A and B are shown apart, each in its own frame.
Chain A
């Protein structure tokens, strides 16, 4: 990994936060190094947004300690704010201000010098593909352009830490590509990035990923090590009727879990070599037309699903 050093930039210990009866975050500890792109992955309600808010200092934890860029966020939330940029999940800029006005406003809040502002604005708008839209009201931008504008505003000063809460949800593929290009560039310059995402392909691009479930981290490692650590092996079953195949294989011996993915079923088994012919026989027996069963490398989604299943989680 490029600019990763051993300098700890984000450190959270024993974070807890509840909203009424709901324990949104229970005992989360995280250590993130300088230059990492760290991904928080989890279903809706897993606690991603709450963790982001706690780290940004806009929400107080019930228990636990947070240090971001050397500042105790719980004790001194104000001091950390000039060190980080936080992009909430909901579009947080002013829709009745133009692209340029929003950028100007945030650059003034972060006391960016006019010279630096001009230089960075041009550069960032170019990278985001927003240069032709400077005079457009933010409310009239598409979803993807809004998110990129959010990123531009977040980067108009030089944050040490960038917190992005589901930045690419609802964003078109072209904008997502622009977005990630900017993130990779930032990492080169030593900015630490924490982002949450529900997209597994984005999780694969992170240097490290924490899989969240019900306010807890189920697993945290690099994407490749997470995949290696997945118990069992993965078989890819392509079938004409994947739903029927899914049903047929559900209680076959040795099957640890299934994941329906479009025209195929990912079947996690204890032993690929032994189970592959068995599954083939079972499908034939039930007259379910299938073209092939192959052993594949698991993706993050497979790992994630495996961890969420009771047997896999053990």
Chain B
């Protein structure tokens, strides 16, 4: 390998990128847009679920119960309906995601028999939200019951009954606010880099074929490895600029807690950038038309990185065969690394497994890409 020819390729490629400001602008603006879109748009937290309240009693107690739903922060009591039919109508229209019906004899039943029912109905078309909302509703009711019992006991001069023998003292670490954004935004960075990185290099070889410059290039002493490394140099710089932008946006704009070291972040990000650029380059080597290469790059990176990287769906909840497939999804290693570096402040030695996986990936992709490069027309 000749460093001189490698630098000549890098020089030529840089000039071409520079002379094509539109593509350069897209390469630098795409992550900005995606970061804004995904960073703001994606949150798994369910807050202020709109409820329709059918309070048939209108007593002190029933109003207290409604107030507790709203005060929890999980629900908002946007609508009030007097009849079951109106509740049904509100759910059908999508005006609310759930309904609470407090029966007309709520207080009386509670006072006389010691128990009363409250009905909740949820629109389960969105199962995830519904499950979470039901959990929240149960929490509100459980707390209300406990409070009512204490109040009743106090009023009658009795000691409050023990609710249970075991008290759960739940503490959450690493993301103390249980803010799903802190968990998702590092993964968003990984997804954006995977998409943008592959797009950056996916056109670089097919462009030479389409413009007719490849025939002359391969008639020179330049080798496959020199072409590849030379072409990757400028895109590596662009990829790192994109990565730095996304990571700094996560830290300083979205205020995701960053507890790790910037050196660990830089090393792992450089490694991941190399992998995604290598993937794009391999696609470019294999597919001679620019349009085809760009689309294949999108399809090959989009689905695995969004669905199988642990970005939104937890990998350990997937069926075993799907979990096995995720081992091939390079983005999952970087998602793991970023979450650990951001939230846990993991040092390098705790990340050896995903780093080893990414290194193996980088080596394999570059080897395959160099071997796939055809220095003949046939």
Contacts of B216 in A (CB 8 A): 86-88, 92-93, 150
Instruction: Type the 1/0 row for A106-144, where 1 means its CB is closer than 8 Å to any CB of B.
Output: 101111000000000000000000000000010000000
B25 interfacial contact with A, CB 8 Å = no
Cα–Cα, bound, A3→B5 (Å): 33
Sample of 6 A–B contacts (CB below 8 Å): A58-B375, A59-B376, A85-B219, A92-B212, A96-B16, A150-B216
- Given A57-B219, A109-B8, A109-B222, the answer on whether A93 and B376 have CB atoms closer than 8 Å is no
Contact A91 B212 (CB under 8 A): yes
Please give the number of chain B residues whose Cβ is less than 8 angstroms from any Cβ of chain A in the complex.
Answer: 27
B162 interfacial contact with A, CB 8 Å = no
Cα–Cα, bound, A86→B223 (Å): 16
Q: Which 9 A-B pairs have the closest CB atoms?
A: A92-B216, A108-B8, A86-B219, A90-B212, A109-B220, A96-B19, A88-B215, A81-B221, A82-B221
Interface residues of B in 189-225 (CB under 8 A from A): 211-213, 215-223
Instruction: Type the 1/0 row for B1-40, where 1 means its CB is closer than 8 Å to any CB of A.
Output: 0101101100110011001100000000000000000000
Cα–Cα, bound, A81→B98 (Å): 74
Instruction: Type the 1/0 row for B350-378, where 1 means its CB is closer than 8 Å to any CB of A.
Output: 00000000000000000000000001111
Contact A96 B15 (CB under 8 A): yes
Contact B8 A105 (CB under 8 A): yes
- Given A58-B377, A78-B221, A88-B215, the answer on whether A94 and B12 have CB atoms closer than 8 Å is yes
Please give the number of chain A residues whose Cβ is less than 8 angstroms from any Cβ of chain B in the complex.
Answer: 33
For A88, give its contact among B2, B7, B11, B212 (CB under 8 Å). Answer: B212
The residue of chain A having its C-beta at the shortest distance from the C-beta of B208 within the complex is A94
Min CB distance B233 to A, Å, is 14
Min CB distance B211 to A, Å, is 7
A101 interfacial contact with B, CB 8 Å = yes
Min CB distance B323 to A, Å, is 44
Contacts of A104 in B (CB 8 A): 8
Contact A101 B220 (CB under 8 A): no
Cα–Cα, bound, A104→B211 (Å): 20
Contact A81 B215 (CB under 8 A): no
For B15, give its contact among A58, A88, A101, A111 (CB under 8 Å). Answer: A101
Instruction: Type the 1/0 row for A140-153, where 1 means its CB is closer than 8 Å to any CB of B.
Output: 00000000001000
Contacts of A58 in B (CB 8 A): 215, 218-219, 375-377
Cα–Cα, bound, A91→B217 (Å): 12
Contact B377 A111 (CB under 8 A): no
A60 interfacial contact with B, CB 8 Å = yes
Cα–Cα, bound, A150→B218 (Å): 15
A14 interfacial contact with B, CB 8 Å = no
Contact B220 A81 (CB under 8 A): yes
The residue of chain B having its C-beta at the shortest distance from the C-beta of A102 within the complex is B12
Contacts of A78 in B (CB 8 A): 221, 223, 375
Contact B15 A97 (CB under 8 A): yes
Cα–Cα, bound, A57→B15 (Å): 28
Cα–Cα, bound, A173→B216 (Å): 25
A11 interfacial contact with B, CB 8 Å = no
Cα–Cα, bound, A242→B324 (Å): 80
A239 interfacial contact with B, CB 8 Å = no
A53 interfacial contact with B, CB 8 Å = yes
Min CB distance A72 to B, Å, is 15
Min CB distance A284 to B, Å, is 55
Min CB distance B234 to A, Å, is 14
